[in-house]
Amino acid sequence: MDHFSLRYGVMHAEDVPLPVIADAVGTPVYVYSRATLERHARVFREALVDVPDKLIAFAVKSNPNLAVLKVLGAQGMGADVVSVGEMRRALAAGITPEMIVFSGVGKTAAEMAAALDAGIGQFNIESEEEGVELAEIAAARGVTAQCTLRINPDVDAGTHDKISTGKADNKFGVPISEAGQIFGKLAGLPGVNLRGVAVHIGSQLADLAPLEAAFLKLGELVGVLRGAGHEVTHVDLGGGLGVPYRVGEVLPQPAEYGAMVARVTKDWGVKLIFEPGRVIAGNAGVLLTRVVRVKRGIKDPFVIVDAAMNDLARPALYGAYHHFEAVEPKGAQMTANIVGPICETGDTFAMGRECDALQAGDLAVFRTAGAYGATMASSYNSRGFVAEVLVDGDKFAVVADRIEAGAIMDAERVPEWLA
Ligand SMILES: *Cc1c(COP(=O)(O)O)cnc(C)c1O
């Protein structure tokens, strides 16, 4: 459930009519709802009531906006980060270092050092090589890195290939067949306290079965590790829960996920870490856009909006579906191709889409844009970076300025020898 709804024929974010935001900030603009973010955080937390010892770390990569992190931090969430840039955002939003988990296959030595200096709570090591390097860096600083070893369980998450992460040929984690041996090697190194294992098999999962299969394999591995004399006190179950992008789409609810987790892990005797991203932020945001013009087509008309693939990359990148609707629907429908102004055909949000009838100047939204939206924006076609707004009841604030193309050009230099 979210707080974007029609009132008196005008779509509102909580109590704010979207045309008011469009007039004040311009379009395109991402609009987030604080009440929705808080609701999703609460629902996820409540789904895990039967898990006694846990940390819920928001996957910052899904929406790294400082104001969003501030809202979620106040809900008791930690942060799952995949770069020092994300770590700095989590810290700047007031999330305590102990509640920060550092994931990612390519942590550089400088990043590991910075994260150790910040005193973060956990590193999820993705390879033997990374573990050895982290141990050296930590030992040289006279500190101990708290770690889990990320396991690649060889489970097909059944999602889009580009966001599948738990198959044997994906780059993430160590093969489960070698996990015991690598764990043993890393656990003996000074500088690291290898206290458990981690898994994250992919994103936008529409089915709990692959998650359960991965967790069961992980549970078995915990038994094997303990049998080999290792102490296992922490298990990180990652993120991945899908959200509905289509009207009427039914996905596993957080409560079902929580019940499955509680059932599978009840005898593990560990602290569990969760890294939800999309399920918290996805439906807490929309991309508000204005129709530039409607162009006649051979078959369907092209509705050309002022948002483009540089602002919302998911359709171009993954063929993703985003529900599209008018901010002030008049009741009539049309079948249209929804496209942005960018000069490539990849800049297509939908072909032959049945949607509200729209004409030049009308406002519309792409729904479910709060996760993997603004964070993937680029300045392709010198369009600048899209702005972001947070709504809270009847008030709203710009939480990321639009970065105009001119400001990006100002950061470029023409060398003297070209002058
Ligand atoms: C991307 C990612 C997540 C979040 O995934 P969602 O599908 O947004 O919940 C969690 N953990 C890791 C390691 C990730 O890479």
Q: Which CATH class is domain 104-274?
A: alpha beta
pLDDT higher at 190 or 169: 190
Please state, as a whole number, how many other Cβ atoms lie within 10 Å of the Cβ of residue 248: 5
DSSP annotation of 164 reads B
∠62-63-67 over CA atoms, to 5°?
160
Which pLDDT score is estimated for 299? 96
Which pLDDT score is estimated for 159? 87
Mean pLDDT (whole number) for 208-220: 97
Q: Is the Cβ atom of 203 under 6 angstroms away from ligand 1?
A: yes
Q: Is the Cβ atom of 277 under 6 angstroms away from ligand 1?
A: yes
Task: Collapse the DSSP code of 400 into the 3-class scheme (helix H, G, I; strand E, B; otherwise coil) and give the result.
Answer: strand
Residue from 6, 140, 143, 343 carrying the catalytic annotation? 343
Residue 8 predicted with pLDDT over 90: yes
Q: Is the Cβ atom of 86 under 6 angstroms away from ligand 1?
A: no
Q: Residue 208 — pLDDT band, cuts 50, 70, 90? A: very high
Q: Residue 115 — pLDDT band, cuts 50, 70, 90? A: very high
Q: Which CATH superfamily hosts domain 4-32+282-410?
A: Lyase, Ornithine Decarboxylase; Chain A, domain 1 (2.40.37.10)
Which tokens go with 361? 């100047």
Mean pLDDT (whole number) for 225-246: 97
**Tens of pLDDT, residues 306-349:** 999 999 999 999 999 999 999 999 999 999 999 999 999 999 99
Pocket test for ligand 1, best of 61, 159, 376 (most atoms within 8 A of CB): 61
Torsional sign, CA 46, 212, 368, 354: negative
Residue 222 predicted with pLDDT over 90: yes
**Domain segments of the chain: what residues?**
4-32+282-410, 104-274
Which pLDDT score is estimated for 168? 85
Residue 196 predicted with pLDDT over 90: yes
Helix (H) or strand (E) holding 24: helix 18-25
Which residues are within 8 A (CB) of 315 and not within 5 positions of it... i.e. 6 or more apart? Answer: 309, 321, 322, 348, 349, 350
Mean pLDDT (whole number) for 274-299: 98
For residues 48 and 181, give the distance between their C-alpha atoms in angstroms, rounded to a whole number: 32
Residue 157 predicted with pLDDT over 90: no
User: What is the Å distance from ligand 1's center to 8 Cα?
Assistant: 38
DSSP annotation of 46 reads H
Which pLDDT score is estimated for 164? 85
Q: Is the Cβ atom of 240 under 6 angstroms away from ligand 1?
A: yes
Nearest to 143 by CA among 164, 115, 167: 115
**Residue keyed to tokens 């929309």:** 286
| DSSP string for residues in 78-100 | EEEESSHHHHHHHHHTT--GGGE
**Tens of pLDDT, residues 39-56:** 999 999 999 999 999 999
**Tens of pLDDT, residues 124-143:** 999 999 999 999 999 999 99
Q: Based on the residue annotation, tell me whether 147 is a catalytic residue of this protein.
A: no
